Chains A and B, each alone.
Chain A
Amino acid sequence: MAGFLKSAGSFLLYKEPKNTELGFELLETAQEKTGQDGDGPPTPQKPLPPQAHTQKKKTSKAPLSVPEWNESRKAESEYCVPSGSDDVSGKLCVSLETIKQKFLIPKNQDIVIREFKIGRKLEAFIAYVDGMVDKQILNLSLFPSVMDKAALDGFEGGSAADYLTDNVLPVHSVSKSGKYSDIVMQILNGSCALFIENCNECVIIEIKGFEKRNVQQTLTENVVKGSQEGFTEDLRTNITLVRRIIRNENLVTEIMPVGNTNHSSCAVIYLDGVANPAVVGEVKKRIQSIDTDFIMGDCMIEQFIEDNPFMLFPQILSTERPDRTASFLMEGQVVIIANGTPFAMAVPVTFFGLFHTSEDIAVRWPLGSFLRLIRLVGLFCATWLPGLYIAITLFHNEMLPTELLHSIAVSKESVPFPTVVEVLIMEISFELIREGGIRVPTAIGQTLGIVGALILGQAAVSAGLVSPLLVIVVAMTGLGSFAIPNYTLGLAVRLERFLFIFAGAFLGFYGISLMIALLSYVACSMKSFGVPFFSPIAPKTKMNRDVILRLPIWTQKNRPDEFNTLNRKRQGNNQKLWIDQPKKGNQGEGGGQ
């Protein structure tokens, strides 16, 4: 009854409506609107420093006059207020405030600032990012050394930073910097910054110690013979893995910053005296010109620096293997390794280079050549087989022997779809299985592959959706695409296959031939860092003995001609040398007679 009265009352009486907003809503502000109108690159939004809040209306900052500058210096020295200058202040409290402001402390909680006294006399503090430095070194080596009573025993004035660097700090890599911007970057990279009272320089101590994956077996480029090591996500580790293979003083590593906001870095590696300087310069130029907020690994860099972004074929070769990276460097190519992904990129690259694997050189030459030919057969199957099947069944029945034609006709009799629809159903199903198998966890992924291939194929045939012959065609296509060693090329071929399916369905062999001609034109017009993509075939250059077939290792005397390396010669007449040498030992002077 009470409920009824309440309902009736609420029906008759007016009530203020409740706030029915659904909660948080992100609306565009006027500031954002104006920010988006500009043509320039996006700039990182930094919160204003405390003193700047008083001057909100000012959009541009006029240079300080001499009295103003003196005033600000006075304020700095008297009240520990940062002046806004990028130079490190001699007063420790100013540096402390500056670092706190730059890292938004106390809002930002993973920056550690530890104040202490060096040798129980000199005020100092250390700043680092929690989790990025090696705390063992910090606790057991660094702090005991600098906080030791005798740490400043020999100090007779002058720069304390120099004294500590020369006599106290027990760390292998120490540098000094007088700019806050540089110091902030070093702290973000995992170094430790030591600020000292009355010192205009900060000591940067490199004791990086963040968690990283160990060197493990490669996941995408497994081989039976040869090295089993793969790259990791850490740039320094990856460079070391390459340097361990090429122990040559001419191997140059240039570290370059990329990403305006995430401040990542990448290494450009080349063998000086072998790699063409023009290619090295072009690689550096393209990386330097990348203007973006965020770079995560080599895959993003690849998309910024490739020659033809609208082409399907990859123009940069990506590998997970240090041994393969080393072989590229020895061939005169330039390698780019970025922080964050376990891959290295090699440029320039040709179409035929995408079919090579590190196993080719690990096995004897007839076997290596055979593997290459198998891969080319795989390419043929992966690209053309479904298209040819459609063309033959729709347009060119006459080329099939009567018995085969009869069996195809019988198998297709119960299928209600046109051939092209039938092929598309199977191809898309196969692509779904493959994509699903990659995304789900490994154990389930394998099962999914088997289930998909066997059950779906069998069920589709039993249900009369597709003909048995088509299942074989699609299976061959799938196997062919798996045989392509380069993942990006494999993806490109998967996409091209659909072009050939439509071309075959539209105009039979005529359509497929035209598509081949078109793709040939496109491929022949492409370049990878100035090197034609189809060289040394089109245009013809001096053929190396390791292009399509892998001929004996001792015949491969020169580096690839198309890369225009400074040093063309790779090796001498190895086989001839030991054949021509006089016999020694038992069959020497006496036995030989």
Chain B
Amino acid sequence: MIKEGKIGVSEAMFLVVVAISNRVFFTAPAVVVKAVGTSGWYMALVADLTAIVFFCFVYLLLKRFPDMNLIDIFSVCFGKVLGFLFSFLYAGSFVIVCGVLLREFIDVLKVYVFDSTPLSVLAGSVLAVIMAAAFLGLETIARVARMAGFIMLAGLIALMCMAAPQFKLDNIFPVGGYGFGKTLFEGLTRSSAYSEVIVLGIVAGALQGAPHIKKAGFSALVLSGIVLSGILLGVELVFPYYSLQELTSPLYELARIITFGTFFQRMDPIFLFIWIITTTVSSSILFYCAVSSYCKAFKLSDTRPVIIPIAVIVFTFVIQQRDIIVVVDKLIEALRISPVLLFYILPAAALITAVIRKKKGGEQAIGNS
């Protein structure tokens, strides 16, 4: 087994919050508004509630198998072959999720800042940092995630406060968007936006038992819901929904239009720091989960030999995509469905299987035997 160390509740919570909330920096607000119109801000809350319901299954599963992570639990519930297959799928999914996030990030970066810098340079440099993070391990990533989480929240609050003079209440009307039914449906299907909460299942061994997982998971989902909904509300208040859906990075545009006198203009480069650091941390989390899942699936005791090969795969995936259109229209849309199946339905199925097959972990198993 790989040694992942120990992390606290707040560190685990921020691992999830940073991984989830990071998506507001990119195309997510535009995609949401395109789907549901002005009701995007509370659609995020509907999706959050759905994710909380799904996470209950994950939590119950982890509670049933204390001191075990999801990968190990799959082996117990589904048997070695199926368990290995699902674990391998998890590792692959994290590689894809990490790759898509990086490609989206780099494309947005190219659109706004580095138009002539080669894609491979931007991807390679961020991957070098991500690899270093993976080498240093989960404890380090969690500690940095906690710090980055606070910086991100402070930055977003500051951004919203500075953008407040640009708010126009008319922009969020009609409140119903394209209809409450559509908002509800989109909210249910887009709950995959919060699927990064599954990170807690992968690193469950580093947390101190099910109560900590429960505390970290639910509080992370609530906080992420508030952040996503608040940011969506903020950008909707500034930009009319018809122009918002055309923007590649609404939050970056929001930072651009902030003006205080003649000196404080164009705050976007400062905002760039928060954006880049949190994205690096977020990608590090996903990359580490890919490495960790892979090692756990193959029962490897050391993650280090796997890091460079997986980084090469992620790099190849990132530079293989044709352009940002492919990323937004195909990959991100595809990631709406598959995480729901893998990260929500599969643990629920494992729970049901465990109940049917009367599989339990830890002291419960000893008690039964």
Q: Are B8 and A521 touching (Cβ within 8 A)?
A: no
- The number of chain A residues with a CB under 8 A from chain B is 28
- The number of chain B residues with a CB under 8 A from chain A is 42
Residues of B within 8 A of A510 (CB): 109, 113-114, 122, 125, 272, 276
Q: Are A514 and B143 touching (Cβ within 8 A)?
A: no
B103 in contact (CB, < 8 A):
no
A532 in contact (CB, < 8 A):
yes
Residues of B within 8 A of A518 (CB): 129, 132
Closest CB of chain B to A484's CB: distance in Å?
21
Q: Are A513 and B273 touching (Cβ within 8 A)?
A: yes
What is the CA–CA distance of A507 and B10 in the complex, to the nearest angstrom?
A: 33
Partner of A509, one of B122, B263, B272, B281: B272
Q: Are A517 and B277 touching (Cβ within 8 A)?
A: yes
Q: Are A539 and B8 touching (Cβ within 8 A)?
A: yes
Given contacts A395-B113, A509-B273, A509-B276, contact A520 B144 (CB under 8 A): yes
Closest CB of chain B to A350's CB: distance in Å?
13
Number of A-B contacts (CB under 8 A): 101
Residues of A within 8 A of B121 (CB): 507
Partner of A514, one of B113, B114, B117, B276: B276
Partner of B266, one of A399, A524, A539, A540: A399
What is the CA–CA distance of A516 and B275 in the complex, to the nearest angstrom?
A: 13
B265 in contact (CB, < 8 A):
yes
Q: Are A399 and B270 touching (Cβ within 8 A)?
A: yes
Q: Are B143 and A507 touching (Cβ within 8 A)?
A: no
What is the CA–CA distance of A521 and B142 in the complex, to the nearest angstrom?
A: 10
Given contacts A395-B113, A508-B113, A521-B141, contact A539 B11 (CB under 8 A): yes
Q: Are B272 and A516 touching (Cβ within 8 A)?
A: no
Residue of B nearest to A534 (CB): B143
What is the CA–CA distance of A525 and B133 in the complex, to the nearest angstrom?
A: 9
A511 in contact (CB, < 8 A):
yes
Residues of B within 8 A of A511 (CB): 125
Q: Are B263 and A540 touching (Cβ within 8 A)?
A: no
A428 in contact (CB, < 8 A):
no
What is the CA–CA distance of A514 and B275 in the complex, to the nearest angstrom?
A: 11
Map CB proximity to A onto B135-163 as digits: 1 under 8 Å, 0 otherwise: 01101111110111000000000000000
Map CB proximity to B onto A522-562 as digits: 1 under 8 Å, 0 otherwise: 10110000001010011110000000000000000000000
Residues of A within 8 A of B133 (CB): 517, 521
Q: Are A509 and B265 touching (Cβ within 8 A)?
A: no
Residues of B within 8 A of A516 (CB): 273, 277
Residues of A within 8 A of B147 (CB): 520, 524, 537-538
Q: Are A538 and B125 touching (Cβ within 8 A)?
A: no
Residues of B within 8 A of A508 (CB): 113-114
Closest CB of chain B to A507's CB: distance in Å?
6
Given contacts A517-B277, A525-B137, A538-B143, contact A399 B117 (CB under 8 A): no
Residues of A within 8 A of B224 (CB): none
What is the CA–CA distance of A515 and B268 in the complex, to the nearest angstrom?
A: 19
Residue of B nearest to A404 (CB): B263
Closest CB of chain A to B120's CB: distance in Å?
13
B126 in contact (CB, < 8 A):
yes
Map CB proximity to A onto B204-234 as digits: 1 under 8 Å, 0 otherwise: 0000000000000000000000000000000
Q: Which of B241-270 contact A (CB under 8 A)?
A: 262-263, 265-270
Residues of A within 8 A of B10 (CB): 540
A569 in contact (CB, < 8 A):
no
In the complex, which of the residues A511, A522, A524 has the most CB atoms of chain B within 10 Å of its own CB atom? A524
Residue of B nearest to A396 (CB): B269
Residues of A within 8 A of B140 (CB): 521, 524-525
Q: Are A507 and B117 touching (Cβ within 8 A)?
A: yes
What is the CA–CA distance of A147 and B263 in the complex, to the nearest angstrom?
A: 90
Residue of A nearest to B137 (CB): A525
Residues of A within 8 A of B284 (CB): 521
Q: Are A540 and B146 touching (Cβ within 8 A)?
A: yes
Q: Are A538 and B146 touching (Cβ within 8 A)?
A: yes
Residues of B near any A CB (own CB < 8 A) = 7-8, 10-11, 109, 113-114, 117, 121-122, 125-126, 128-129, 132-133, 136-137, 139-144, 146-148, 262-263, 265-270, 272-273, 276-277, 280-281, 284
Question: 15 A-B Cβ contacts within 8 A?
Answer: A396-B113, A509-B113, A510-B113, A513-B276, A514-B280, A517-B276, A518-B132, A521-B129, A521-B144, A521-B284, A524-B136, A539-B11, A539-B139, A540-B10, A540-B11
19 new A-B contacts, CB < 8 A, other than A520-B148, A534-B143, A540-B146, are A399-B268, A508-B114, A509-B113, A509-B269, A509-B273, A511-B125, A514-B128, A516-B273, A517-B129, A517-B277, A521-B144, A521-B284, A524-B147, A525-B139, A539-B7, A539-B11, A539-B139, A539-B142, A540-B10
